[in-house]
Amino acid sequence: MVSMSEFIPNFNDPVVKSSIYNLFAYSFTILIFPLGSMFFLKYIVFEKYMELENKDAMMFSAIIAIIEVHAVLFYWIYHSYKEHKPKTFKND
């Protein structure tokens, strides 16, 4: 059995742990959030409430899910960029 320290040599480093946690969290979010909202919007909002046809409801919910994927991806990139940026202090 391979231990985690052999698989990821620097796993005990807090920065590496944080990065791996963020990778899994954002991967889960980018998978579950858009799919869940797409089916919720299609069945509840567009078909039941707004009474759209199946094809139109799927198109609108897919467009919103694509926007959500891009928003989560942008936030993940922004968060990753800001997370490891060293803070510099001005010495006068």
State the Cα–Cα distance between residues 73 and 77, nearest whole angstrom: 6
* Total number of domains constituting the chain: 1
For residue 11, tell me if it sits in a domain: no
State the Cα–Cα distance between residues 86 and 78, nearest whole angstrom: 15
For residue 13, tell me if it sits in a domain: no
Average pLDDT over residues 65-88: 84
Distant-in-sequence, close-in-space partners of 38: CB < 8 Å, separation ≥ 6: 61, 62, 64, 65
For residue 52, the enclosing domain spans: 32-80
Condensed to tens digits (0 to 9), the pLDDT of residues 24-64 reads: 898 999 999 999 999 999 999 999 999 999 999 999 999 99
For residue 63, tell me if it sits in a domain: yes
